[in-house]
Chains A and B, each alone.
Chain A
Amino acid sequence: MPIVIAIILVTLTGLLCAIMLVVVSHFMSVPVNHKEEEIRKCLPGVNCGACGYTGCDGYAKALANDPNIKTNLCVPGADKVAKEVASVLGVEAQDVIEQVAFIHCFGDCDKRTQKDEYEGIKTCAAAKNIYGGEASCSYGCIGYGDCAHACPVGAICIENGIAHVDQRKCIGCGMCSEVCPNHLITMFADVEVMAVTCNNQEKGAVARKKCSNACIKCKKCENNCPTKAIKVKDNLPQIDYDLCIDCGTCATVCPVGCIIKASFKGKHNLDENESTN
């Protein structure tokens, strides 16, 4: 007899709980915006914040609720995601400006000089606080790979003391540029080609002693630029990409070779080229 009471009691308790939950979830459920879920599925989910929202969820919510928000803000997703999002929302797809991370320091262990031995915590942020790391140039790449750890796709590796971006893998999210304590990483759009590979803001002679790749502030680039796109400001050449015609004159006249002509084609551009070939 007691077992019957026990069975009835537990069954009743379970049943009561179940009924309560069903009733409550029926009356109190929050209507879910299905568009939001669909958009969220299209987005890559790396939560990088390149779109300017708090993550993929935030961007999906904003897109679903506000028709004025652009569909081409997702840089890691590139054109493919922009098209999918646009088709979910029923609007015309806009082209995404693909980006690639570029590290403004080419002063690897062969080129730079060392001022001390650093034996502390192996992160750039920690080394930066102790006399700016091992290298005598405190503006350059520290080389403990904070950016490599931040990269969601493993596109950054440390070689010979400085970080390198593997452009075939880079999705252009910009998470690396946020963690670099020397602010060496900027995001380059695919249309740009000229880049400065030094960040040293000291006087030319001082910089030269510290690193053979350092900008010596000779202003040859500024004087030879046919469109006056380069100005040496704060002891560093600044390129105005609106004026730059990609002629490459600055790269050829630079005596230390700290301006280069490069290609900023990231993963998305390369994938597109492969599919068209």
Chain B
Amino acid sequence: MFKTLIVILMTSVLVNNYVLSKFLGICPFLGVSKKLNQAVGMGLAVIFVMLLATLVTYPIQHFLLDKFNLGYLQTIVFILVIAALVQLVEIILKRYLPGLHRSLGVYLPLITTNCAVLGVTINNVNDGYNFIESMVSSLGCGLGFLLAMVLFAGVRSRIENSHIPNSFKGLPSTLIAAAIVSCAFFGFAGIVEHLFS
């Protein structure tokens, strides 16, 4: 049991990294990775939202959609619920934890309908995880996102300080760098399955 959870966690952080291996959530990955502190803030917000989304969508899938045989409504219902939920959390944060809201608040609306968040919840269902496994997988995906953001923020700060041909300045060089970082992550493929055997 414990071993399975560890394997799920490591898999979702390294092997199936949502940004660098599955190419989900590229928009915040390229948009908010300019500065390290912003990247960390965004990463933490994503972890939080992913956990919250899984917490809510798991019962919806199993006690509502499966019961009425409405699996094809998964995407639309999940988006609806996640968006409403994040809005709710934002309002509550603003009221009771204004400090946290100031540092996290900018990113929360950005991730309401982020494809990485939706991808985690749907993949959890497709992989047939039970509730605890789903939560661990979401945590892993969030951590993987944070890892990718932090790594890439470091890479980008180096790019800013280097000579780049004019035609590659800005987004082109960023995309190339992202491709190289993602190539590095393919080195993890196949490692986790043999970690504990």
Residues of A within 8 A of B88 (CB): 20-21, 24
Find out whether the CB atom of B70 lies under 8 angstroms from the CB atom of A28.
Answer: no
Chain B 77-96, CB-CB to A under 8 Å as 1, else 0, gives: 10011011101100110110
A28 to B96, CA, bound (A): 9
Residues of A within 8 A of B85 (CB): 17
Question: Residue among A18, A28, A29 with the most chain B CB within 10 A?
Answer: A28
Find out whether the CB atom of A9 lies under 8 angstroms from the CB atom of B76.
Answer: no
Would you call the interface of chain B mostly helix, strand, loop, or mixed?
helix
Partner of B80, one of A5, A13, A29, A123: A13
Partner of A10, one of B69, B80, B83, B95: B80
Find out whether the CB atom of A24 lies under 8 angstroms from the CB atom of B91.
Answer: yes
User: Is residue B189 within 8 Å, beta carbon to beta carbon, of the partner chain?
Assistant: no
Residues of A within 8 A of B70 (CB): 2, 5-6, 9
Find out whether the CB atom of B161 lies under 8 angstroms from the CB atom of A28.
Answer: no
Please judge, given known A-B contacts A20-B88, A121-B162, whether A13 and B95 are in contact too, CB under 8 Å: no
B: number of interface residues (CB 8 Å): 22
**Distance from B150 Cβ to chain A, minimum over Cβ atoms (Å):** 23
Chain A 6-23, CB-CB to B under 8 Å as 1, else 0, gives: 100110011001101100
A21 to B88, CA, bound (A): 6
A: number of interface residues (CB 8 Å): 20
Some 30 contacts from A to B, beta carbons below 8 A apart, are A2-B68, A2-B69, A5-B68, A5-B70, A6-B68, A6-B73, A9-B68, A9-B70, A9-B77, A10-B80, A13-B77, A13-B80, A13-B81, A14-B80, A17-B80, A17-B81, A17-B83, A17-B84, A18-B84, A20-B84, A20-B88, A21-B84, A21-B87, A21-B88, A21-B91, A24-B91, A24-B92, A28-B94, A30-B98, A123-B161
Those 7 A-B pairs whose CB atoms lie nearest each other, nearest first: A17-B84, A28-B95, A121-B161, A28-B91, A24-B91, A25-B91, A30-B94
Residues of A in contact with B (beta carbons under 8 Å apart): 2, 5-6, 9-10, 13-14, 17-18, 20-21, 24-25, 28-30, 121-123, 126
